[in-house]
Structure 1
Amino acid sequence: MFTATLITLSLLSLTIPSSSSDHQPQSTTDVCIIGSGIAGSSLAHFLRKYSPTTAQIRMFERHPVVGGRMATVTIAGETFEAGASILHPKNYHALNFTHMLNLKVKGPSASESSFSLGIWDGQKFLFKTIDSNSKNQIVQYFISLANSLRMLFRYGVSLLKMNTFVEVTVDNFLKYYESEESRPIFSNVEDMLKWADLYNLTTHTLEEELVGLKFSPLLIQELITVITRINYGQSVRISGLAGAVSLAGSGGDLWSVEGGNWQMAAGLINQSDVTLHLQEEISSITNVGGFYELKSTNGNSYACQITVVATPLDELTTQFTPEISIPERKLQHTYATFVRGLLNPAYFGLNSVSDLPELLGTIESSELQFTCISVLKEHNANDFTYKLFSRQSLTDALLDQIFSIRNETIRINWGAYPHYQAPEEFAPFMLDDRHLYYVNAFENAASTMETSAVAAENMARLILSRLAGQQPLGSYGLKSSTSDSNLQHPEL
């Protein structure tokens, strides 16, 4: 995904288990999980939670560190999120993991809560909030109020309707935290979404949904486009559910794990008694009758009763025998560029760096070569750390135009999330009629740390129910409840 010479990841170093020297299949393992990100680590956790006697869980990670698309980057001794970076206050699985593992929640600082925003069209700022360096809370309050009024004046009541649209979607998503007694086990993504009244949002684009709700065209073209470009690297033509999730990720009270969100995956793996194989990529998976034979690029062979792919199949080179059939899907690549230096205000038609917003978003335009620029930290008046998102790698020539000072540059190419389109097609959770599973099928609905954990929890229950000879439940004709008494995490 990225070269070691360009990035230093502050991730947990875990011992690679020794392999058999003759490369013969080892004794059958109950479960083999391919991928150590939040989906794979959550699955291991929930398998242990619901079936503590599961004999063995093996996990294979092709990289030298765990975490998947959760990673950190270090610049001049400072550590910043490089991949999945924010969590919603109602991401209950992530909150529970954080508390269970004694990790520390990091909320936005006072300055981050009142950051300045600018919307750039490539030539000029279409909208820019008022900024102030004042530390006085009363001054900051009135500036925040003035900015809210200015946004309301520009975008009208559609701005309020946007909040309602997001709240309805989040409330529906909360059904996935209901107690096991009232929540079915889902054998496919479609039923899982229909049960929570979310499926219809995947059949239309976000733009179509918002136009149908009579949102202001200006709000859609500017602010909402800025948000979807930042969070999913795509326009408002993404599917409606992915768009609603993107808008939810732009609200207040967002949080992360201090020291890096990757610690959730590392902690879950450690606590779940997993045999972890780092730097071992699975090259083939073969159904040999009573088990699956997994062969790795290291020349090793493993026999697994149950095999779960917990990483996107879209760019994976693993060979399946028999072949599997899933809808064709492309990943949206996001190029994250970290720069220690100073922006050039003249590039943006301004006279001073202090006139630049802390978050600079862009509209959808083929002429724009970057998606957004954000200030990660101000070290002093002439020294900042910035993060830029773009759909293509930013050249040194372009960066030298955007920045007047560039002391350090780190580039990362993430195959970050699906390229969303409507109506969405979903890969199956079950890749065959036995025990070959694909937890990342849910990503075509929405790709976040929490949606991966929700899909993994359902997957654990699906695997265990099928092992017990029980048929997974469909979503139709089943009574559901959203009362707090039925939530798995009422304390949150």
Structure 2
Amino acid sequence: MEFAVSHLQTYRGKYWGCSDTHGHERSRLDQLNFLPLLLLCTMCVTGAQGDAAPPERIAVVGAGIGGSAVAHFLQQQFGTQVQIDVYEPGSIGGRLATLTVNNQHYESGSASIHSLNLHMQDFVKLLGLKHRREVAGKTAIFNGERLVLEETDWYLLNLFRLWWHYGISFLRLQMWVEEIMEKFMRIYKYQAHGHAFSSVEELLHSLGGERFINMSHRSVAESLLEVGVTQRFIDEVIAAVIRASYGQPLTVPAFVGVMSLAGAQGNMWAVEGGNKLVCRGLLKLTKASVIHARVTGIALHSTEGKTLYKLRHESDSGHGSDIYDMVIIATPLHQGGSNISFEDFEPPAKEFPGTYHHMVTSVVHGYLNSSYFGFPEPKLFPFTSILATDNPDLFFNSVENICPINVSVGFRRKQPQEAAVWKILSQRPLDRQQLKTLFRSYYSVQVTDWAAYPHYGSAPKEVPPIILHDNLYYLSGIEWAASSMEMSAVAAKNVALLAFNRWFQHQEKIDQKDLMHKLKMEL
């Protein structure tokens, strides 16, 4: 039904109340010509879904942003009559999580969302959530000895400093990122028209051709040097941004780097009350049954010529199993991820090479030692965020003065000489001496060790498959192309459309070549 609705919206914009290229309104006859199209779309949708019954039961493994989004999109595609069970042994939200400091709640996981992340934007509107009020702050980059770049309150002065230190590298970077993001934005049009892709490679190729495929295998440093960005700018600025985002060196793939650098250019936001509210809201809206259990195995279960899947799971109440028509795995299957066994599949299910990179988040309530960054007088320290370059002597990736998830109208950041809440990202937990280096004194330290992102240095030669079996899908493999909330949402929409199109045999909606050109011709 969503396919028909998207076409109706497209043609409504084209013929009803819009102007042609000469600025004249479309004729009444053009508007009447829309009516047969309406009937045709309705007949097509009715006929397509009349050929086969929709699945009765679907299981989703994982209740992070990918799992909650795919549950929502699956219901959009298959209808409210489908029972959707979501298995989650931990908290809803996964890597979207909060913790409490001094009776205030703060993001401990993924904190920011880009303004171009249209799925996340749509979720917030759909659920009646709000953007958190922005509290301005300045950023600096630290190389272990001094601050190599300092942001000011004046935009033109910031541009001048970038030009003075790095020439036009920042302009070349911006042009490169904008070009890639413009092509990436095509995915929303494809998905609005019901198109899906059977592999991550097909999806990337449809957006940017071989260039996007190559960007998944070449480092961000190599790609930036090719477009004329200087080595100094890469070492001092790009490295700091990548470390703060992914905790990894400049060898990460270029496509990963683009997603990180797009966020560094501003236009970021967060959800009032915490980003995890998106996951909770989508599951509540979908009326999915959340089962607090860990899935331990998936077995092929054929009966009367019909392929079904048996999920084995365990919880505090014991072991159990259930039968499903379709299963979506929205949790990492790689080493250190979910240890799910696959039984009775022929050929046997593939192993998933590669590991996830651990990022340690330390949330500290205390007094920052500003003298470590070259400011002996605390009240003169002007920055709310410090990014670290790729220096082996530096024990942290970033230090940030964070705001609570509920920002009241009268809220103000703590003054530099006051005790504040700081989030430190590091490769390993901070020891007592390191905490003493960063803070004059502190009241509390809360540590979370995340298996945050794929370790791109261990990346497999090929991105993991989406289709594991007839109606068994893997969503989280897209993180090996790039990892973010929006990438998970894009993957969730793709899997829902792919499952729908394959179930009803809409082959014309899967892996179409020259898709952008075809959609332009339709319009």
TM-score class, shorter: 0.7 to 0.9
Match of 2:198 in 1: 187
Q: List per-residue Cα deviations over 1:134-184 (Å, max 9, x = no partner).
A: xxxxxx4xx342232112211110111111111111111111111557563
Give the conservation status (yes or no) of the 8 Å contact 1:225–1:235.
yes
Asked if structure 1 preserves the Cα contact closer than 8 Å seen for 2:56 and 2:81, the reply is: no
- 1:288 Cα offset (Å): 2.2
The answer to whether the aligner puts 1:51 opposite 2:78 as a matched pair is yes
Out of 122, 129, 150, the residue aligned to residue 96 of structure 1 is 122
Map Cα deviations across residues 313-371 of structure 1 (whole Å, 9 max, x no partner).
12211211144214411111110100010111333343122344321111112221110
Residues 204, 423 of structure 1: 8 Å contact kept: no
Residue of structure 2 in register with 1:490 after alignment: none
User: What SS does structure 2 have at the residue aligned with 1:257?
Assistant: coil
Taking the aligned partners of 1:479 and 1:340, their CA distance within structure 2 comes to 51
2:291 aligned with 1:291: no
Q: Would the aligned equivalents of 2:333 and 2:352 in 1 still touch at CA under 8 Å?
A: no
2:86 maps to a residue whose letter is M
Distance 2:512 2:163 in 1: 40
CA shift digits 1:79-124 (9 cap, x unpaired) = 2211111111111111111001000112522x23xx1x22222222
**Contact persistence 1:71–1:261 (CA under 8 A):** yes
Q: Give the TM-score taking structure 1 as reference length.
A: 0.85
Alpha-carbon separation, structure 2, partners of 1:50 and 1:474: 18
SS of structure 1 residue aligned to 2:464: coil
Distance 1:391 1:181, change over 3 A: closer
Matches within 5 A, 1:330-345: 330-345=355-370
Unaligned 5+ residue runs, structure 2? 1-54, 404-412
Alpha-carbon distance between aligned partners in 2 of 1:54 and 1:179, rounded to the nearest angstrom: 26
> Which ranges in structure 1 are unaligned for 5 or more consecutive residues?
1-27, 131-139, 487-492
Amino acid at match of 2:142: W
1:309 pairs with 2:329: yes
Q: Which amino acid aligns with 1:227?
A: V
From 230, 255, 272, the equivalent of 1:258 is 272
Look up the match of 1:430.
467
Match of 1:125 in 2: 147
1:47-105 CA-to-partner distances (Å, cap 9, x unmatched) read 11122144210000011x21111111211122221111111111111111100100011
Count of aligned positions: 440
Question: Which structure: larger Rg?
Answer: 2
> Of 431, 445, 454, which residue of structure 2 is paired with 1:395?
431
Percent of aligned positions with the same letter in both sequences? 28
**Per-residue deviation, residues 428-475 of structure 1 (Å, max 9, x unmatched):** 00112x211101111111111111111111100111111113336224
In structure 1, the residue matched to 2:16 is none
Q: Corresponding residue for 1:458?
A: 494
TM-score by length of structure 2 reads 0.80
Please identify runs of 4+ aligned residues in structure 1 that moved more than 4 A: 179-183, 421-424
Structure 1 residues 481 and 175: CA distance shift in structure 2, 3 A: farther
How far 1:375 sits from its partner (Å)?
1.1
The CA RMSD measured in Å over matched residues stands at 2.1
Aligned residue in 2 for 1:153: 164
Q: Aligned match of 1:353 in 352, 362, 378?
A: 378
Corresponding residue for residue 20 of structure 1: none
Distance 1:53 1:338, change over 3 A: closer
Cross-structure match for 2:64 = 37
**In structure 2, do the counterparts of structure 1 residues 425 and 108 end up closer, same or farther at CA, with 3 Å as the change threshold?**
farther
Whether the 8 Å CA contact 1:230–1:389 is kept in 2: the answer is yes
Alpha-carbon spacing, 1:233–1:178, altered in 2? closer, same or farther (3 Å) = same
Distance 1:395 1:417, change over 3 A: same
| CA gap 1:479/1:92 in 2 versus in 1, 3 angstroms | closer
Shift of 1:250: 0.9
Q: Which amino acid aligns with 2:270?
A: S
Match of 1:178 in 2: 189
Check conservation: 2:501, 2:510, Cα contact below 8 A: no
| Aligned residue number for residue 277 of structure 1 | 291
Report the Cα distance in structure 2 between the residues aligned to 1:54 and 1:39, rounded to whole angstroms: 22
